[in-house]
Amino acid sequence: MNTASPPAVVAEGLAFSYASGGGLTRADLTLGAGETAAVEGPSGSGKSTLLALLGLILSPDAGALRIAGTETGALSPAERDHLRRRSIGIVLQDLGLLPFLNAWENVAAAFGPRLARHRGAARELLGDLGMADLVDSPVTELSGGQRQRIAVARAAVKQPVLILADEPTSGLDPRTANAVLDALRSCAERGSAVLLVTHDAAVAEACDRRHVLDEGVLSAAPQANVFEEDRG
């Protein structure tokens, strides 16, 4: 039928409200294989909510969401879980590492319970992220930035159709932030679509596209040079 692969994600009029009233008012977004996109916006504007919707963690109140060509609206909970496991890697804002596993085991856990089978891939990717000496460390003994890199490796190791990352470089020194960004970009070069939330203009600048989320509404970032005012 269709030989070209469908976009990794197509969201149309996506909306979600928490009982408290906050959430996401409207998001329209298409992201193709190999593309990187940034979402910027103030605290509370709905960035993490958008990622949870795109990651099939939350179900939208309105709108349509296709992941890798699959219309998600009609899926059962089990089918949503299956699609998420098969197609999506997520770096959550609070990382969600498993404290009883070491660094490489946390990465290999992306594949399921047979950790040893994926030992090589997990250790190699951690090495690419500057963590070669720490692959066997318990995650409870690692720094915030080191744990962040493990979470990125776990999201990326299966080379999923879609990688969602919530502030994956926050709190990292510039060199480590660059290593994380390079890892995400090389995932895109291998065909993943990468959407990341960031407060770092340099990180957003390095993405193919920039979006802004303001009071729950997602739009393309203005093209104007945001550094203009610095030149005075």
Ligand X SMILES: Nc1ncnc2c1ncn2[C@@H]1O[C@H](COP(=O)(O)OP(=O)(O)OP(=O)(O)O)[C@@H](O)[C@H]1O
Tokens of 218: 């997602």
Q: Give least dist CB 93 to Mg ion, A.
A: 5
Cα-based distances in Å from 89 to 54, 62, 120, 195: 11, 24, 19, 10
x/- map, 92-131, Mg ion, by CB under 5 A: -x--------------------------------------
Tokens of 138: 């318990």
Give the separation between CA 80 and CA 57, rounded to whole angstroms.
Answer: 9
**Partner touching 18 among ligand X, Mg ion, none, CB below 5 to 8 Å by kind:** ligand X
Helix (H, G, I), strand (E, B) or coil at 116: helix
In residues, how long is the chain?
A: 232
- Chosen residue from 25, 36, 48, 106 binding ligand X by CB under 6 A: 48
- Chosen residue from 23, 55, 60, 168 binding ligand X by CB under 6 A: 23
Do 109 and 98 meet the contact criterion of CB atoms below 8 Å apart? yes
Which residue type, as a one-letter code, is found at position 119? R
Do 42 and 71 meet the contact criterion of CB atoms below 8 Å apart? no
Q: Return the range that interacts with ligand X (CB under 6 A); candidates 39-47, 122-130, 157-165, 182-190.
A: 39-47
Q: Give least dist CB 201 to ligand X, A.
A: 15
Residue 45 touching Mg ion (CB under 5 A):
no
| Geometric angle at alpha carbon 65, from 63 and 66, rounded to 5° | 150
Residue 49 touching Mg ion (CB under 5 A):
no
Q: Give least dist CB 173 to ligand X, A.
A: 21
Q: Give least dist CB 54 to ligand X, A.
A: 12
Binding site for Mg ion (CB under 5 A): 47-48, 93
Binding site for ligand X (CB under 6 A): 18, 20, 22-23, 41, 43-49, 93
